[in-house]
Structure 1
């Protein structure tokens, strides 16, 4: 009888996830890594913004989800950032908004991430077994939902997530899934990149828009990381090192 009850509970939970639909909005913030070249005085750039924030949304229905740039007109445009150096020069930072799309099929454990890198489009097929979450005892409230902490480490990168079983679907921002509830907050390496939910709407129906991205070069995550690292090394060589002059170089990498 105990085995029957457990199976019934697990089946019921999966059915609830399949029936869930809605949208979770996130602010995704990236801390800039500055690399000053040549004889440039870092003090001149003391007022430069240290981070960039953009808005994204996670839509989900029928056991599938899609993480994409916000479709809200007020949040869609990437904000311009201005700063003034100590000598009075006005400098404007323009950031290209990421149009990455991540599709997840909960029942098939299928995750595909479409990303643009160096004018090439890649379709990264992820192995969800790599996300070995460790659920912790810590809890807190996020947007009125009871959330629990979970962590995992991949290579030298640490991830801290806060998920809620009150939204019983294994979904989250970008490629971060695999917990028994929706991830409402996530931090990479103590805040180098953060994902913070700003709104939850469990009435919205975007089921017709949730499709796996189609065009791009299919690669594994390991293959993509290798390609990215090689190209970044080429960029460093092209623009010069610390003794060859040049400008401020800002590299933003997706984890």
Structure 2
């Protein structure tokens, strides 16, 4: 299980409202301040992630992603660990990561996984995502619990649900803006999200 220690305070959605006089009001909505958590279950071949959307938390389930990593001979030290470089493409982003064989587990931050050692550093080529292990604590035994939330949902269904919830939210906002005003509800751009494209979006018949 990997847990991000801090979450960003970025604005996730904006609503633009313009009245008859041309005055524009911008309303913003932020997600719940829930610590992102990812749980890998090798037994179930499943990855569970905590996702928040419109102030509601979901446990999103998917098959553990397979990433075609390319191993590079370059090495460097991160803390007390000797790490090797690897590159790979995952859901529309090109990643450069550093993993250590000294912890021979195929896991990493967020959904990055599948190397012969734990990933201690990862960065995408757009300089939008960066993961770095500031501290590694090795314990003999620790209880790891699957994330819990109000609802568990498959990833593909969750993406479709988000689209519907955006449409529903737009209708609700439309009833609250001043009469004769215009507004535009702007979801976050896909190219600014962690996952730019999903596997089923590239599938062909």
TM-score normalised by structure 2 residue count = 0.62
Q: CA deviation at 1:190?
A: 2.8
2:46 equivalent among 110, 115, 121: 110
Cα deviation for residue 26 of structure 1 reads 6.2
The residue that corresponds to 2:142 in the other structure is: 207
TM-score (norm 1): 0.52
Distance 2:66 2:111 in 1: 11
Q: Structure with the greater relative contact order (CA < 8 A, sep ≥ 6): 1 or 2?
A: 1
Structure 1 distance, partners of 2:74, 2:47, is 28
Equivalent pair of 2:100/2:117 in contact (CA under 8 Å): yes
Q: Quick check: 100-109 or 160-169, which moved more? A: 100-109
* Aligned alpha-carbon RMSD (Å): 4.0
The change in CA–CA distance for 1:212 and 1:196 in structure 2 (over 3 A counts) is same
Moved more, 157-166 or 186-195: 186-195
Partner residue in 1 for 2:154: 220
1:40-189 map, 5 Å = 96-106=32-42, 108-189=44-125
CA distance in 2, matches of 1:103, 1:156: 22
CA distance in 1, matches of 2:141, 2:51: 22
Q: State the aligned residue count.
A: 175
Between the aligned partners of 1:143 and 1:98, the Cα distance in structure 2 is 28
Q: Distance in 1 between matches of 2:48 and 2:92?
A: 23
Query: How far has the Cα of 1:107 moved from its partner?
Result: 5.2
Which structure has more helix as a fraction of its residues? 1
**In the aligned structure 2, how far is the partner of 1:24 from the partner of 1:123?**
14
User: 1:181 and 1:127 mapped to 2: Cα distance?
Assistant: 20
Which region of structure 1 is more displaced relative to structure 2, 98-107 or 138-147?
98-107
Could you tell me whether the CA contact under 8 Å between 1:31 and 1:193 is conserved in 2?
no
> 1:122 offset after TM fit, Å?
2.1
Question: Residue 116 of structure 1: SS of its match in structure 2?
Answer: strand
Alpha-carbon contact 1:170-1:182 (below 8 Å) kept = yes
> Could you list the runs of 5+ residues in structure 1 that have no partner in the other structure?
1-22, 41-93
